[in-house]
Structure 1
Amino acid sequence: MVTAPGSLEALRRHNRLRVLEAVQRRGATSRVEIVRATGLSRTTVSSLVSELLAEQLLTEQVERPTASGSPGGGRPPTLVTLNPHGGGVVGVHLGHDSVRVVVTDLACAVLAEAQHAWDVDAHLSDALDYAARTALDLVAQVGLGIDRVLGAGVAVSTPVRVCAPASAPRSVLTGWDDVNIAEELHARLGLPVHLGNDANLGAMAEWTFGAGRQVDDFIYVMLSDGVGAGLVLGGHLYEGAAGMAGELGHVVVTPDGFVCRCGNRGCLETVAGAGPLVAAMSHSRGADLTLDDVVALCRDGDPGARRVVEDAGRAVGRALAGVCTVLDPRLVVVGGKTAPAGEPLLAGIRAVLARRLSPSINQAVRVVSGELGSRAEVLGAVALVTRSTPGHVLLHG
């Protein structure tokens, strides 16, 4: 069988990403270690490393000898590492009511950023137009050529089915089921596009850069317009058989409660999502109240806001209790728009977990706020590109 030239080129691009991923994961590393990590031949690795050095995506450094000298007494090996200034990554977060776009260097440091309020649920195509246009503008603003951008990562507020990457993710959001977001953005940007659920990517970001560093078993809870969770188990992001793991917002916590948009009654989202928190305060604070207002009131010590937020935390605790009993995590990291409310929210979660978990599990699990704030999900989208996580790469161009 004759292999098409396009297939050979696609294979080479894929192998380039494998080499870059190996270097990103290990830091300064030798060519021999890259061979071991990727399974590629020495000749292929040598060729790709030379190519990436010439393009300044990688840079070389000589390993400093130890006090006892280099192994075997010979020359210390030359190591390669990512050149943070050699290229960039685009990150996009498509929330329910806004679009955030960032451009980072290869060390994931943010170089430029833009955010715009948008009814993404109702106007997805327009939101994609804005995201692509803004990404190209930001890339130009920081002086990068588009050919130096490794790819675009996209965090979406809907489940992503990793078992069927060619199809659009199934969603409870009207108008999303027939849209292949990766394909649409690739057509607009001409870049490899990587897609993931925003709560999962928030977990990845906190694991890589934030409160979950060096913790291999933790739960990330995203409290925003909706409620989601990302699970890191055994040092891997766990998405479930069909990419649906972590749908904490649709765990029933009040069986006789309000009907949820998913069709069930009393889901956590109907209690701890942005809408319920705002509604609980709007009768006394006015119809123009927003979630940011509720969070600000809580931080200022308003008794009503603190009670509403703590009650939401208790509902989150009820949803988490069974999950923690089954998974035995070391850490619960709370992020999303509601997380800046701080201690009343965390106290509500901790109180319920203390009551519902066995003492051995409860003493082992800590509940903390995320460290990355509102950037967590978009930084997770960036990390998705640099890590090239299996199962997420929906389009390689």
Structure 2
Amino acid sequence: MTFEIQPSAPDNLDTVQDIHAAKGSQQSLREANRARVVRAVQQHGSLTQVELAGITGLSPSSVSNIVTELADAGVLDTTPSIRSGRRARMVTLARSIGVVAGIDVSARALRIALSDTAMRVLAEEVLPLAPDHRADLSLQRAASLLNELVESVDAAGDELLAVGVGVPAPVDVAAGTISSSSLLRGWDGAPVADLLTARVRVPVVVDNDANLGALAEARYGAAVGADPVVFVRVSHTIGAGIVLSGRVLHGRRGTAGELGHVIVDEQGAVCRCGNRGCLETVAGSAAMLHLLQASHGHLTLEDAVTRAIDGDAGCRRAIADTGRALGAAVANMCNVLDPEIVVVGGEVARADHLLLDPLRDAVDRHTMRSPAGSPAVVAAEFGEQAGLRGALAAALDRARELGALGVAS
């Protein structure tokens, strides 16, 4: 969607080229201000115009004019309201803009959510996966389920703007392919973006699930306003995402943040990645459940966490041991990156203080001393759903980049 703005030229411009340059500059500024207003509403949901002025730094009159333009264009909706006893104009994104989808692939399940462009989740579904699920079949099932979700919210097929996908493996984000050869069996080298785009016919963006969790928590969750941010996902596997100056750090091959595969014991067990003594062999779910097998028999990760929450001493000890081992590795990240905050999510993080207290103690013990103290270690605001929320955010970013939201980013 484009807006035809014809600003008048300043009096001190002498040439036609000067006049066109000034018009172009003012047009670019106007578009940038509109984008700031739309992003503020996307991130915060419903806002008054006064609140929008405070968040964007624009003048109240500029906000009023921009809101009127975008409301006329069908990008924003406005409704009268009362705030602090005074009349106010409430601003939200127009539902007619469309919806975005997020898909979070894990070792055992595939979660799909649909949201509007204000990041309000409209529908959500979980699809169990076989232990050795393959990319092509799993994405085919995901596409079918996604179409059902779009229909369930009474959205037309052309209202789906973009899809974000998170996977527990390194990703070449430019190509949308899995860049590892051993971390996600059945998905090695899979062209995820191409496979899914062929089925849903909309743009698809793919990233590592921990990266997406970091994006969600930094932009909307427990780490809003912090920089740098480290997000640690503790589930069937261990991963980390890093947000630096508002951007996810991917590295050269998409392997930045592979915390589960830092070496903690050179003589340790062989890891699924092919190395020996990775953190996952010590603090991953398989190691935790192996410790419990003699005393508790066969448990799933969900069983172990639930029993720990319910007071089982053995499960609590196993989770505390995981927290200490994880904390030492996180402290090394802190010594390298000096983050302002560390956010912990994933299935094991459901245990809350049972995991976080020993993790914090280890971070405090092993992080280099500073007058500012150790970085804060907090639970993810979105819990196990951080990756899914990040997938929605990535889809929204892609839709914005392509101009599907009516304004440039």
Amino acid at match of 1:293: D
Corresponding residue number in structure 1 for 2:249 = 238
How many pairs were matched up?
Answer: 347
The counterpart of 2:205, out of the listed 188, 194, 208, is: 194
Q: Which amino acid aligns with 1:136?
A: N
Identity over aligned pairs, percent? 40
Listed as ranges, the matches of 1:96-107 within 5 Å are 96-107=107-118
> What amino acid is aligned across from residue 148 of structure 1 in structure 2?
E
1:196 is displaced (CA, Å) by 0.9
Deviations 1:6-65, CA, capped at 9 Å, x for gaps:
xxxxxxxxxxx9999655424389xxx9xxxxxxxxxxxx9xx87x965x4444689xxx
- Aligned-pair distance for 1:157? 1.1
Residue 302 of structure 1 corresponds to: 312
What is the distance in 1 between the residues matched to 2:38 and 2:289? 42
Greater CA radius of gyration, 1 or 2?
2
Q: Deviations over 1:66-111 (max 9, x none)?
A: xxxxxxxxxxxx9986324642111111111111011111111111
Instruction: Give the structure-1-normalised TM-score.
Output: 0.78
- Letter aligned with residue 39 of structure 2: R
Distance 1:362 1:266 in 2: 33
Matches of 2:400 and 2:251, distance apart in 1:
14
Q: Distance in 2 between matches of 1:169 and 1:389?
A: 24
CA, structure 1 residues 383+127, in 2 after alignment: closer, same or farther (shift >3 Å)?
same
Name the CA distance, whole Å, in 2 between partners of 1:267 and 1:314. 15
Q: Which residue of 1 aligns with 2:277?
A: 266
What amino acid is the match of 1:96? A
Does the CA-based 8 Å contact 1:350-1:367 persist in structure 2? yes
1:362 Cα deviation after fit: 7.4
Distance in 1, Cα, partners of 2:345 & 2:371: 22
**Contact conserved, 1:226 with 1:269, CA < 8 A, in 2?**
yes
Change (3 A) 1:109 1:391: closer
The 1:112/1:81 distance shift into structure 2, 3 A limit, reads: closer
> Does the 8 Å CA contact 2:111/2:124 hold for their aligned counterparts?
yes
User: Aligned equivalents of 2:179 and 2:32: distance in 1?
Assistant: 26
Give 2:84's aligned residue. none
Give the aligned partner of residue 393 of structure 2.
Answer: 383
State the partner residue of 2:39: 25
Counterpart Cα distance in 1 of 2:345 and 2:147: 29
Note the C-alpha offset of 1:141. Answer: 0.3
Q: 2:321 aligns to what SS in structure 1? A: helix
Is 1:88–1:103's contact at 8 Å kept on the other side of the alignment? yes
RMSD between aligned residues:
3.3
Runs of at least 5 residues in structure 2 that lack an aligned partner in the other structure:
1-30, 42-46, 54-65, 81-88, 403-409
| TM-aligned CA deviation for residue 373 of structure 1 | 1.5
| CA gap 1:362/1:301 in 2 versus in 1, 3 angstroms | farther
| Mapped partners of 1:18, 1:125: distance in 2 | 40
Cα pair distance change 1:18/1:339, threshold 3 Å: farther
TM-aligned CA deviation for residue 234 of structure 1: 2.5
Is the aligned partner of 1:365 residue 2:375? yes
Scaled by the length of structure 2, what TM-score is found? 0.76
Alignment-mate amino acid for residue 154 of structure 2:
G
Counterpart Cα distance in 2 of 1:124 and 1:166? 13
Note if contact 1:25-1:387 (Cα within 8 Å) is conserved in structure 2: no
The separation in 2 between residues aligned to 1:19 and 1:155, in whole angstroms, is 31
Q: 1:182 to 1:361 in 2, by over 3 A?
A: farther
- Of residues 277, 291, 301, the one that matches 1:280 is 291
Q: Is the 8 A contact 2:176 2:205 kept in 1?
A: no
| 1:242-269: CA deviation from partner (whole Å, max 9, x where unpaired) | 2211000001122222110111111111
CA distance in 2, matches of 1:391, 1:314: 42
1:270 touches 1:276 (CA, 8 Å); kept in 2? Answer: yes
Pairing 1:122-201 to 2, within 5 Å after superposition:
122-162=133-173, 164-165=174-175, 168-172=178-182, 173-201=184-212
Partner of 1:75: none
- From 260, 263, 268, give the equivalent of 1:249: 260
Q: State the distance in 2 between where 1:343 and 1:298 align.
A: 11
**Equivalent pair of 1:334/1:368 in contact (CA under 8 Å):** yes
Are 2:135 and 2:192, in contact at CA under 8 Å, matched by a contact in 1? Answer: no
Secondary structure of 1:338's aligned partner: helix
The amino acid that maps onto 2:213 is G
